[in-house]
Structure 1
Amino acid sequence: MLVISIRGPPNSDFVLGYPGIDASWPRIVGIVEVRSNNGRPFKLRSLDLQLYRTETIYVQTGKLGISQTKRQESYPVGKKVELFKPGQIQSSSATFLSLELRFVYTLPFGENQLSSSICIPKVAESIYRLYATAVEDSGSKDDQRAYAPVTIVRYDTMSSFLEFQRAKTLQVESIDSIVVQRVTLQRTSFGPGDSIVMVVSILPNLDWKYKSKKVKVQSITLKVEEVIVFSLRGDDPASRSRTLLGEKIAVNGEKLGEDGYSVEITTSFPVSTSRGKDGVVITEENGYPNILTPAFTSSASLYSITYFIVVGSKLSNCKDIEMRIPITVTPFDSVICDAILEPLNESIKVASTADDRQPNPIFVTASDAMAVNKMGILVKPNGKRGIYIE
């Protein structure tokens, strides 16, 4: 029986580079260590490394939505890496006391980029596990496996990118065509606690000047809405919506002038502590990101998560107006996004000259006279053994 362990580099995360940014070469780096459980020499036929993704969704079913259906899928992502195979060392009959197999596991990129790890309790979850599978050369065909949780966080939705910092203006006409509601967002990506700044304008339709003069603005409402769509494999998709933020600005019946009515609205994106199914605050040790937002923009095989800012105007002598503006939600606030830019650029420079070959493994064979010392064991003068500490 083998003892297999997977660990990351000292004082570093498993994941190097920035998932979602292909130029930074997102990858998992670490060491697979193999020993026998009783300290005896062993022969190894093969050892493979494969990343798996597990998605889970909980869908409300029934007319009243009081029952819940759970669906789960687990599948490999990325290419399998052969860390050890026959003929890798000179003697195919070599027996080992231990192996340390350093590895570089390149994450999928381009259209196959991985979605982020996520945990919305009793709604949707995604986790990644890196499995090491070993087969002994002892006549048995049974695989022996070990895994390590891996946290994947994408960085391509950061608010510091130029595409999200451009102001966005949308407008919609009332059903009776008397007025137009125009909304200008200063930016379109938000993280926990980020300021949401927008200008809402109610403008008269010049083709209906007489009717538009009678219009009064009673109130402006603002909501941030989260929509999760579940893919049910053969059934019609199901969706779940919830309001994360709601505000109402009272205008008290102000009449619409020739220039219309405008108001600047500033609020903050919600902040919350991520908690798991048992209510305990999430840490990255279990493969989920520890973030300060309930969720973020994401798309996976079983679900997709999108966000909207919903702006409504309650009017007199005119039909009310409501419009939905799609936005991007990132796991990081604007301060963190700005701070990440410099190490991200440095990571891209490093990736452009990096060597993607697998590092050389470290073998400790049973025939090695220094095998005991290489395994960190000190043989005392009386023949007893102990752990060697420098």
Structure 2
Amino acid sequence: MSKSEPFHVHLKASNQNLVYGYPGLSDTLPRIMGVLEIRTRDGSPFTIISIHAEINTKQSVSVSETIFTSKEAEKTTQVFSRLVYNNSTMVKPILGLDVPFLIPLPSTIQTSVKNEAWGFRTDNYLSFKLVYNKAREVSYWDFLVPIKRYDTLPALPVFAKPIVGSFASWDGKYNVEYSIPYQSFSIDDEIIVYIRVAAIGSGSSKLKLRRIQLELREAVEVYQTGFPIKQKTVITALKEFDGEAGRLQGSGVSCKLQLNLERYDMPSEKQINNAGLTATASPIMNQRLSPNSYSPLNSMTRVNTTIKDNVPIGLPSTHIRSFSIEGGLFSLRHSLNFKIKVSRGKDSVYLQDIYICPFKTSDADLIYRAVQSERLKVPERYRKMTLSQLSETMLQKPIIYNTNSVQDWEKLGLSKRTLGGTGKYLSHVLE
């Protein structure tokens, strides 16, 4: 049995926030900022030689193959790694240490998500490796951190312009034109599609449109050999045409179809209970899980994600449903499927990719305004700094709690009567 560390470790958010900027939007300088608080376990001094920080993303997916079997995959990726504290040249016994840190969130960071319908989950861990005492013992501490990406906000310029497209039938007898006001949609949005179907040339006088069917489809792709692409239709809109109303000669037939996302993939009461969520709850920004004497990559599979105040650690409450996700172990993509049925001609099918954002319309608008504000607040000089320069500018110096300081001793809640020896916390003395 391994000896327990002479200290315990807590993760403290910086100014109540742990994640700054907007992950997925690099010009907002997305980053994790906080303080690692290390405290003596029982008043005994210890030494800290170095602290190394990592961001690791763990993804898992289970794809059904038959009614009775499924295929599973897991992947853990180290997203970022850096030394946040180095005291190897002047090691002395201490009672506590506060280490401010700044970890950038690169564009490859994955959003934290759980989707029961498709069987996948992504968790992001902030892990610390502490080297301590003369024997250079090693201790690992892992924290789950909820990460949201904001690169599918409908108001972003890349998505705010309309989609305009067209396709011809397989037999070349008619053409379909369509337009969609936006490219990305909030989860309570309404997708409006304008469609016109018209005959090509004068040789299709008997050609008539019978039905236009518009479907919102989801497809999950796993980036490992042997996994089939799974897809399903989640919402359907239908428009039928009778007799002369479907004649495609001349200007053709025009119509508007709508898909209401408001009830799309609403988490059921069972899903909410299983996830440990309440309807009005906000996710915990961070919470310590457990120390371990193994590599953090191995320990992740054994960490218990306990639930506090009915909120799952490391999982945003907005991210237990379907929305567009790209990269990592898997992707969840959305598309509009056009199905055109005609008489005296060939039916047609066509797919148009779109994006579904995980936020409601009102929230997405507020977030976009906050993004704009954040872009203005980040000085241009920050964007040109190295990580070390940025850390020196934004962070305070580490705070050391010395063994021979009465003030430091009392700040840690230790009894003055034990100063200089193995101490007891003041709360223990009063009991």
TM range, smaller chain: 0.7 to 0.9
Q: Which residue of 2 aligns with 1:272?
A: 266
Distance apart, 1:236 and its partner CA: 4.2
Partner of 1:30: 34
SS of the equivalent of 2:109 reads coil
TM-score (norm 1): 0.87
Distance, in Å, in 2 between the alignment partners of 1:178 and 1:267 is 28
Structure-2 residue corresponding to 1:189: 184
Encode CA deviations 1:281-320: one digit per residue, 9 max, x unaligned: 4863322222277322222332122110111122111111
1:169 aligned to which of 164, 169, 172:
164
| Conserved? CA contact 2:42–2:425, under 8 Å | no
Per the alignment, residue 353 of structure 2 pairs with 326
Shift of 1:184: 0.9
Match of 2:333 among 276, 299, 306: 306
Q: How many equivalent pairs are there?
A: 369
- What corresponds to 2:253 in structure 1? 261
Q: How many angstroms does 1:67 deviate by?
A: 0.9
The counterpart of 2:9, out of the listed 4, 7, 12, is: 4
The normalised TM-score by structure 2 is 0.79
- Taking the aligned partners of 2:341 and 2:83, their CA distance within structure 1 comes to 60
1:385 — aligned with what?
426
User: How far off is 1:32 after superposition?
Assistant: 0.6
For 1:362-377, list aligned pairs within 5 A: 362-376=399-413
C-alpha displacement at 1:29, in angstroms? 0.8
Change (3 A) 1:179 1:31: same
- CA drift of 1:224 comes to 0.6
The answer to whether the aligner puts 1:127 opposite 2:123 as a matched pair is yes
Fraction of identical pairs, as percent: 18
Query: C-alpha displacement at 1:159, in angstroms?
Result: 0.3
Counterpart AA for 1:97: L
Q: Distance in 1 between matches of 2:319 and 2:391?
A: 34
Structure 1 unaligned spans of 5+: none
1:1-390 maps to which residues of 2 (within 5 A)?
A: 1=5, 2-12=7-17, 14-61=18-65, 64=66, 66-87=68-89, 92-109=90-107, 113-121=108-116, 123-139=119-135, 141=137, 143-206=138-201, 209-211=202-204, 213-232=205-224, 235-253=225-243, 254-256=245-247, 257-269=249-261, 270-273=264-267, 275=271, 278=274, 280-281=276-277, 284-285=283-284, 286-291=313-318, 294-352=321-379, 354=382, 355-357=390-392, 358-376=395-413, 385-386=426-427
- As a proportion of its length, which structure holds more helix? 2
* Contact 1:47–1:85 (CA under 8 A) maintained in structure 2: no
The one-letter code sitting in structure 1 at the alignment partner of 2:77 is Y
Rounded Cα–Cα distance in structure 1 between residues aligned with 2:329 and 2:258: 35
1:24-70 CA-to-partner distances (Å, cap 9, x unmatched) read 10000111111232221111122211111101111334xx3531122
RMSD, matched Cα: 2.5
The separation in 2 between residues aligned to 1:94 and 1:47, in whole angstroms, is 15
Deviations 1:184-233 (A, max 9, x none): 11111012011111111111102xx242x21222221111111111122x
Distance in 2 of aligned mates of 1:69 and 1:226:
19
Distance 2:411 2:93 in 1: 15
SS at match of 2:391: coil
8 Å CA contact 2:265–2:322 kept in 1: the answer is no
More strand by share: 1
C-alpha distance in structure 2 between counterparts of 1:4 and 1:223, whole Å: 51
Q: Which amino acid aligns with 2:257?
A: I
Quick one: distance in 1 between partners of 2:322 and 2:334?
Answer: 10
SS of the counterpart of 2:349? strand
Q: Could you tell me how far apart the structure 1 residues matched to 2:375 and 2:275 are? A: 38
Identify if the C-alpha distance between structure 1 residues 80 and 281 changes in structure 2 by more than 3 Å, giving closer, same or farther. same
